[in-house]
Structure 1
Amino acid sequence: MLQATGAAGALGFAGCLSNVTDGGDGGSNTMELLHGWTGGDGKAAINALTDGFDEAYPDVETDYKPIGGGGNTNLNTVVANRLSQNNPPSTFAGWPGKNFQKYEGVLGDLTSVWEDEGFMDSHIQEAVDACQTDDGNFAAVPIGSHRLNCLFYSTDVVEAAGVDPNSMSSLSDLISAMDQVAANTEAVPMAQAMTAPWTTLQLFGVVLLGQEGYDSYMTFVNGEGGGDAVRSALETTGTILSNYIPSDAASSNLTQSNELIMNDEAAFIHQGNWAAGAYRTNDLTYNEDWGFVPFPGTEGMYTLHIDSFLYPTNNSGENPSPEATKKWMSYAGSLEGQQLFDPLKGCIPTRTDANPEDFGPYLAETIEDFQNAEERPPTLAHGLAVSPTAMSQMKEVITNEFTGPYNVDAAATGLLEAAQQ
C-alpha cells in the first residue's frame, strides 16, 4: 500500500513525518473514524456499532467516514496519505499483527484502555498478541475474528447436482464435485472474484493448507522454503481457475461473486465468513438457502483473521482526540460492541465471555470450531501471516504470473522469494 501511494515507501512513516507540519486538530473532542464498510453486511455492522456508541456516549462528537473500494484499497490509500501529511484520523479500521509494520512510528499506546477494561483477560490470546507492537504496547483493539478456511455453497445447486458437501475431504473430492455441478446443472461450479489479486492469493493459501497440510503452509509463510508444496498447490489452484469459475470473473468483485451463491447461479465460493454476513443481511437461512463446510482438507483448522481499530498519532506522538478515541476503543472491545457488530458482519467475537446463542446458528458453530481447533494458522492475504512487504510482493506475483495464463513455475519462484521478506 505504501509503495502504491508513495506515502512513505521502505523508510517507514517515522522519517516521513518528521518534516511535516501538524495538520491535526490537537485535543479535539471530535472522534474521526475511517473505515471501508460501505455496503451489505459491513455497512449494516458498522452502522449498528456506531449507533450503539452514539447512544452510550452522547457527549462525544463523531465523524464517521466510510471509504469504498474492494479489499480496503481506497481506505488504505487515504490512511497512508493522511498519515504521511501528519494529519491522522482518530482511528481507522485495519488489521493488527504483522500489518503494524507499515505503520511503524505512528501508532500510539492503548495499554491504559486494555488495562482499565480488562481486555487482556476477556479476549482470546491470539487477539491480545496481535494487537501488541514489538515493544509490547497495545496499538489497536479487536472488533471480531473472521475464519478464512470456509467453503460456502448454494443448497439448491448442490442438491440438483447430487453433491454432498459434507463428504468432501480433499481437493480431488472438491474437483469431482465441481465436475458434477457442471454436468448436472446450469450453475457455475465455483464463484470467484478477480478484480483484485488478493482473492486469488487467498484461494492459493487455502489450497496449500488443504492439499499440502498445516506444516507445509507454515513453512511457506515463515519464509522457510517448501517449493514442492507451493508448486503443487499452484497447479491445483490453476486447475480450478482454468476450468470452474465464471468466464467474467476477471471483472467481478467480491460482492458480485457472492451474489452468484445467493441467486443459485453458482455452487461454491471460497471466502472468509464475511460472506455469511451478506447471506444474513439478505435474509437467507442457514442450511436452507446456503450451507458451509471447512475447505476440503482443512477440517480441524481455523484460519485466523482479526479486524481491529488502530490508534494513530501525529509526529508529536499524540492522537487527534485521545479521550474520545479511547472511549471508542473501550466500546469496540466491549461485549456490547461486539454483540452489535459481529453477527451482522459474519464474524465471531474475540471476547471469551460472549454467548454463542447470541450470534445465530452458523456463527455459534464457528465459535465452537474455534474453541476446538487443532490448529489456528494465520491468514496469508490479510496481514497476519506475512509482512506488508511480502504480501504486496505476493499480490504483484499473482497479478503478473497467475491471472491467466497461470504460470506455475514463475509464480512459485516469486511467491517463495516474497515469503522470505
Structure 2
Amino acid sequence: MTNFPFGFGPGTGGDGDDPNDMSSQMPLFAELQKLLSWSGGPVNWDLAKQLAVSTLAGAGGNSIVGPAERVGVAEAMRLADLWLDDATDFPSGVTSIESWSRSEWLDKSIPVWSALCEPVAARVVAAMSNAIPKEQLEALGAGGALGGIMQQVGGLMFGAQVGQGLGGLAREVVSSTDIGLPLGPSGVAALVPANIADFGSGLERPADEVRLYLALREAAHQRLYAHVPWLRQHVLDTVEAYSRGIDLDMSAVEEAMRGIDPMNPQGIQDALSGGLFAPQETPEQSVALRRLETLLALVEGWVDTVVAAAAGDRMPGADALREASRRRRAGGGPAEQTFATLVGLELRPRRLRDAATLWWAVTEKKGTSGRDAVWAHPDLLPTADDLDDPIGFGDRVMSESDFVAPDDLSGLDGLSDGPSDGESAG
C-alpha cells in the first residue's frame, strides 16, 4: 500500500513529537493546505501526475529517447505503413511519428484518462462525503464544512491512487494505442522504446523485428481510428457510459465511514486501497461491460488480423510475436490489473481470439474491402452473439455491394453517437 503522499498523515514526526505542540504540526498543516487547494474536479490531477512521475523516477521514466532510437522508430513506422497498404483498404492514418519516454506517454495520455476516470471518481468522492454520520460531524463541531473538506480529501486520495496506477501503466505500454484506446493526439503514431525492449525480452527475436511488429500494430490502429470517423468518440463514450453506471454498496460505505476519522487521511486511503469502493455487479453493469468488451475485442481483433496479413511471409517471427501480443492483451499486465481495481474498469479484449477469427472469416467470404466496409456504420458491427459464432458471421454478413466503400467513410462524420442500448455494439 502506498504511503500518504509527502509524508502527510499520522506519525509525521519523530517518536518524541508532542501532539499538543502546534509548532511541530506546522509542516502538516502547510502540506494539508497545499494538497487541499485543488479545485479542478473529483480527481486531483496535479497530485496524480506528480505521483506517477515519482513512480517512474526509479524506472528510467524521465530518460530522454536517444537519436538512434528515434530513427529506428521512424524507419519501422514508415515500413509498417508500407506493408499495411497490402492488407487493408484504409489508407495511412499517420500524420506524424514520435518516440515517447514513459513520462511523455504520461503527459500525452492524461487528458483522455481524465475524461475516463472522473465519472467514477465523482461517485466515490460523493459517497465518502455523504456517508459521514451526522453525529460524527456534530461531535467534531464541523457540520457541513467538514463534508466539503471530505470532498477535497477524497479527490486528493483518488488522485493518489490513479497516479500510482498510471505510473505503473507507463512502465508497460509500448505505444499510444497499446490498450486499445486512442490515448494520444489524433494521427500521432508513437512507440515507447524503453517498454518495447521489455516486451521483447525473452522472446528470442531480433530487437528491430520486435519494434517493427509493434509499429505494425500502432499504424493499424491509426488507420482504423483515422478512417472510421465515429469510432474514436464511440469507444470513449462506451467506456464513459460504463463508468457512469457504476453502483457502490452504500451500506458498506456508510458502515466503513463510521469507523474512519475524517481528519485522518491515512484512514481514508486505507479504505480506498482495501477495495471499499469496488463497484457492485448489477444487470445494467453486466450489459455495459459486455458492450465495452465486444467493442474493444472488435478493434483489437481487426488490428490482429490486418497485422498478421501484412507481416505474412515477410517477418520470420510474426507468429511468435502475434501470440505474445495476444496473450499480453488478453491477460493484461500487473499495472493494468492494478488500475482496473482502482477505477473499476478492465480494458482487456477478453474475446480477442473470437474477434480475430470473425474478421478472418469475413475476409475469406467478402475480401479485404468487404471486411473493412463493416466499419462504415456502428449498426453494422458484429454483436457479442456474433462472436459466439464468428465463422457464421462471415456467411451472414451482407454482400460487399451493400456496404459503403471505405473511401466513402468520410461522409459519415455525423454518426459519432454510435448505437443505442441494445444495438450492435454488443
User: Structure 1 length as normaliser, TM-score?
Assistant: 0.23
User: Structure 2 length as normaliser, TM-score?
Assistant: 0.23
Structure number with higher relative contact order (C-alpha < 8 Å, ≥ 6 residues apart): 1
Task: Looking at secondary structure, tell me which structure has more strand per residue.
Answer: 1
Structure with greater Cα Rg: 2
Task: Looking at secondary structure, tell me which structure has more helix per residue.
Answer: 2
